[in-house]
Chain A
């Protein structure tokens, strides 16, 4: 299946803003992150189709997955 990935802030470094990935049918957001070399622990916000998603949730053809790193400075 094809999944669109949107990356934010430092996750764009060396990867770009938006990627289209061909993934296996049982792929999860965690597997997508791993493919991109992003550690699940480094993800602060995870959206699937614009809504709060789960790292081990299922994905479907055409889904949009967004990863945000933690921004925590004051």
Chain B
């Protein structure tokens, strides 16, 4: 095993580190959540990352989006991820997807992923991702942020948990309370950290996961609520 992963042990076994090295994670959306997800998963030793986003960085991204900096304003987010990963972990099998993932292109572009990370920024895009993950037969790790608030869930094909999380998907033009609240620097980092932990546990089949549940995070009142959702929880 390479020295780069020495501090993963004993929390992960050598076999588990090798196993993760053979896995590919798709990170869809490379803004607040996605920038941290790419970083966390690449450092951890996930062998392959598919990083998808059709947008470019603008100045308003700088308060929270890890892949943005004074140089990358105007640059494509997928290209910035590629550039960063070449520095962080050059052995990574990195696939840059400079496209907005939708129900038309998603199955084609994300084929080969063992798990998909939901880091997009509209509710309809999240629901499309749930369909795509289901078509590909892989789990989806959902994360969302708004101001002091966040949430994380794991959704397996057939669970359709997002249908319960967003019962009015078209309300407010498909946006949530983040439209008014914005997002701070630490909210995406915290939620992406939880999503990364979730992805590792789902891939390794270890510990407790958030399947059929939703972890609701309130950093203002320091409340973490685990609510039961999903077909098997109903």
Contacts and interface: CB of A to CB of B under 8 A. Distances in A.
Interface of A: 8-10, 12, 17, 40-47, 50-52, 66, 68-74
B228 A50 contact: yes
Given A12-B221, A74-B120, 6 more contacts: A44-B176, A68-B216, A69-B177, A71-B176, A72-B126, A72-B178
Most buried by B among A8, A9, A69: A9
Given A70-B176, A71-B176, A45 B227 contact: yes
Most buried by B among A10, A40, A47, A71: A71
Nearest to B124: A72
Interface of B: 29, 31-34, 118-123, 126, 143-151, 164-168, 171-172, 174-178, 180-181, 183, 188, 214, 216, 218, 221, 225, 227-229, 233-234
Nearest to A72: B176
Q: From DSSP, what is the main secondary structure of chain B's interface residues?
A: mixed
Given A17-B221, A50-B227, A51-B228, A74 B166 contact: no
Contact of A45 (B164, B171, B233): B164
A72 B32 contact: no
B145 A73 contact: yes
A51 B167 contact: no
Contacts of B225: 8
Contacts of A8: 149, 216, 218, 225
A72 B227 CA distance: 17
Contacts of A70: 123, 166, 168, 171-172, 175-177
Contacts of A46: 167
A19 to B, nearest CB: 15
A50 B226 CA distance: 10
- Rank and list the top 3 A-B pairs by shortest CB-CB distance, nearest first: A73-B178, A72-B176, A70-B176
A69 B180 CA distance: 12
